[in-house]
Amino acid sequence: MNFALVVEWLIKGVVLVLILLGGFAYLTYYERKALARIQVRIGPNRAGPWGLLQPIADAIKLIFKEEPTPARADKLLFILAPIVTLVPALVITAVVPWGPTMTVFGHKLTLYIADINVGVLYIMSVASISVYGIVLAGWSSNNKYAMMGGLRSTAQMVSYEIALSLAFISAILLAGTMRMTDIVEAQKSIWFVLLQPVGTAIFLIATLAEVNRPPFDMPEAEQELTGGYHTEYSGMKFALLFMAEYDKMIAICLIGATLFFGGFREFWFLANTIFSVDRMPWLGPIYIFIKIVILLFGMIWVRATFPRIRYDRLMAFGWKVLLPLSLAVVFITAVGIILAEQVNPLWMWGIPVVSLLVGVFAIAMIDRELRRKDYARR
């Protein structure tokens, strides 16, 4: 194997990890500022200008904070659980391209670590590992609240992973490949969010449940479980669990931007202009960064807007709504592609139309069912 290639992989891996770790720190600042603006507050403004040093102050506080270990905890698993939770959040982005291939000082530089032909399958496989860390954190603590949070996380993540995988399949069908770079290039003329808006919505909803973000944060519901699976954690162990959640947010927004929003490609109104990625390749990382920031704001906005879902309704929504709707989306996408290839290319636009009609019907049925149950309680 070429030694220079190995060194390049190592450098890109280290840079990617540093980006994610720095992104975690300032994502907490971004969230606190955005929530403050939504709730008509000021937010962090004491540490440094505009509060920009607040993440560093929080890190210093956590480093020097005491880390007690419960007397009856499984000490080995108690220490390993935060690491097992964090590592998948870091390695899942290895196959996601941050930009096109560029030539730097005569060297061809690829802005990804690995370009495998089953990149989407790799992402789905790694994403399913993170549940083990949360379950082990809850079980090893020997705390009934932490254990209940771990059990809730297991049920929730397994339930929503199915709908999430089917949302991946809709993007795979539209692109005709599982290679992430090819999926980006397939969206050069039109983003997949326009062809499959319902599939994109399912992806975004399921990812909220996968990373335990409000309104799907039942595994760490402090009103009921005093913190859930991380009740017994403090100091840097808690920081690792906290870091895993926020790094997963960044990773999921990066994956969602790549699958449905054109990845590092330019916005549609900049196509065939001087600001296109084909003419200025270094703009690719800037475009995908902007898309990540917008998607992250969407997750923060949801947290500030929607109340936490009751657990039985959370599970019913995953199995009775998202699962059948995602199956219908995959079927509609496959039929639309076949008709577009064999009959008329205009049939491709039947995919978003029919998907939206099915989505509206599903929302109407949900509303009807909720109204019926509320009426029955009265």
Distance CA(83)–CA(151), nearest Å, equals 19
Give CA–CA dist 7/2, Å, rounded.
Answer: 9
Mean pLDDT, range 72-89, rounded to an integer: 88
Query: How does pLDDT run across 301-337, given as a tens digit for each residue?
Result: 999 998 888 888 888 888 888 899 999 999 999 999 9
If phi over 0 gives left and psi between -120 and 50 gives alpha, with beta otherwise, what is residue 235?
A: left
pLDDT tens digit sequence for 169-228: 999 999 989 999 999 999 888 899 999 999 999 999 999 988 888 888 877 776 676 777
102 DSSP β-pair partners: 109
Per-residue DSSP letter, 322: I
Confidence class of residue 378 from pLDDT cuts 50, 70 and 90? Answer: low
Only one residue has tokens 């800037």, namely 286
- Delimit the domains of the chain by residue range: 18-64, 70-319
As a whole-number percent, the residues of the chain with pLDDT over 90 amount to: 24
Q: Please indicate, yes or no, whether the overall pTM of this predicted structure exceeds 0.85.
A: yes
| pLDDT band, residue 298 (cuts 50/70/90) | very high
